[in-house]
Structure 1
Amino acid sequence: MFITLIATLGGLLFGYDTAVISGAEQSLQKYLIDSLGLSSFVHGFTVSSALIGCIIGGAVSGLFSNNLGRRNSLIVAALLFTVSALGSAYPELLFFTKDEPTIGLLVMFNIYRILGGIGVGLASAISPTYIGEIAPAAIRGKLVSWYQFAVIFGMLVVYFVNWGIASGQTREWINDVGWRFMFASETIPALLFFFLLFCVPETPRFLASRNRNDEAFNVLQKLNGTKEKAESILLEIKASLNAPNRSGKLFSYGRTVIIVGIMLSIFQQFVGINVALYYAPRIFESMGAGQSASMVQTVVMGLVNVVFTVIAIMTVEKWGRKPLLIIGSIGMAVGMFGVAGLASFHVIGISTLVFIIIYTASFMMSWGPICWVMLAEIFPNKIRGQAMAIAVAAQWAANFFISSTYPAMMDFSGALTYGFYGLMSVLSALFVLKWVPETKGKTLEELEGLWGEEEEEVASGGMSEARHS
Structure 2
Amino acid sequence: MQPKSTINLIYLSLIILTATIGGFLFGFDTAVISGTIGFVKKQYGMAPLMEGWFVSSALLGCMIGVAISGKLGNTLGRKKVMLLSAFLFVISAWGCAFAQDAVVLIVFRLIGGVGIGVASAICPMYIAELSPSQLRGKLVTFYQLAITIGILVAYFSNAKIQTSLAIALPTSGWVDLLFVKEVWRGMFAIGIIPAVVFLLMLMLIPESPRWLALKNRTAEAEKILTKISNVEYAKVEMEGIQNSFKDETVTKLTDLFKGAYKKPMAIGILLAALSQFSGINAIIYYGPSILEAAGFKLGDALGGQVTIGIVNTLFTFVAIYFVDRIGRKPLLLWGIGGAVLSLLFASVLFITNLSNGWMVLMPIIFFIACFSFSFGAVTWVVISEIFPTKVRSEAVAISTVSLWIANWVVGQFFPLLLHNYGPAFTFFIFALCSAYAFFLSWKKIPETKGQSLEDIEEFWCLQSASN
TM-score past 0.5 threshold: yes
Q: One-letter code of the match for 2:218?
A: N
Aligned equivalent of 1:454 = 463
Aligned equivalent of 2:298 = 291
Structure 2 gaps of 5+ residues are: 1-12
Gap change, CA 1:182 and 1:420, over 3 Å in 2: closer
Contact 2:275 2:434 in 1 (8 A): no
Aligned equivalent of 1:98 = none
Contact 2:156 2:306 in 1 (8 A): no
Aligned residue runs from structure 1 range 22-421, under 5 A: 22-29=34-41, 31=43, 33-34=44-45, 39-91=47-99, 105-168=101-164, 169=166, 174=179, 176=181, 178-223=183-228, 225-244=229-248, 249-251=255-257, 253-348=260-355, 350-410=358-418, 411-421=420-430
Q: One-letter code of the match for 1:2?
A: L
> CA shift at 1:247, angstroms?
5.6
Contact 1:85 1:186 in 2 (8 A): yes
Matched, 1:15 2:27: yes
The percent identity for this pair of structures is 38
> CA shift at 1:406, angstroms?
2.3
Q: More deviation in 128-137 or 265-274?
A: 265-274
Aligned equivalent of 2:7 = none
What CA distance in whole angstroms lies between the structure 1 residues aligned with 2:355 and 2:51?
30
> CA shift at 1:353, angstroms?
2.3
Contact 1:8 1:150 in 2 (8 A): yes
TM-score by length of 2: 0.89
Aligned equivalent of 1:467 = none
Aligned equivalent of 1:464 = none
Q: One-letter code of the match for 2:232?
A: E
Contact 2:82 2:122 in 1 (8 A): yes
> CA shift at 1:203, angstroms?
0.8
What CA distance in whole angstroms lies between the structure 2 residues aligned with 1:420 and 1:440?
32
Q: One-letter code of the match for 1:323?
A: P
Gap change, CA 1:317 and 1:25, over 3 Å in 2: same
Q: More deviation in 43-52 or 312-321?
A: 43-52
Gap change, CA 1:373 and 1:125, over 3 Å in 2: same
Contact 1:27 1:175 in 2 (8 A): no
> CA shift at 1:45, angstroms?
1.8
Contact 2:52 2:415 in 1 (8 A): no
> CA shift at 1:438, angstroms?
0.6
Determine helix, strand or coil for the equivalent of 1:62: helix
Cα-to-partner distance string for 1:336-375 (whole Å, 9 max, x where unaligned): 1111222222222554322222211111011101000001
What CA distance in whole angstroms lies between the structure 1 residues aligned with 2:376 and 2:77?
26
Gap change, CA 1:412 and 1:40, over 3 Å in 2: closer
Q: More deviation in 157-166 or 126-135?
A: 157-166
Gap change, CA 1:88 and 1:260, over 3 Å in 2: same
> CA shift at 1:27, angstroms?
4.2
What CA distance in whole angstroms lies between the structure 1 residues aligned with 2:53 and 2:180?
19
Structure 1 gaps of 5+ residues are: 93-104, 460-469
- What's the Cα RMSD here? 2.2
Contact 1:284 1:294 in 2 (8 A): yes
Contact 2:159 2:302 in 1 (8 A): no
Gap change, CA 1:215 and 1:408, over 3 Å in 2: same
Q: One-letter code of the match for 1:243?
A: D
> CA shift at 1:160, angstroms?
2.2
> CA shift at 1:208, angstroms?
0.1
Gap change, CA 1:26 and 1:419, over 3 Å in 2: closer
What CA distance in whole angstroms lies between the structure 2 residues aligned with 1:326 and 1:300?
25
Aligned equivalent of 1:95 = none
> CA shift at 1:319, angstroms?
1.0
Greater relative CO, 1 or 2 (CA 8 Å, sep 6+)? 2
Determine helix, strand or coil for the equivalent of 1:348: coil
Q: How many residues align?
A: 441
> CA shift at 1:47, angstroms?
3.6
TM-score by length of 1: 0.89
Cα-to-partner distance string for 1:206-226 (whole Å, 9 max, x where unaligned): 000011101100111111x22
2:452 to 434, 443, 463: 443
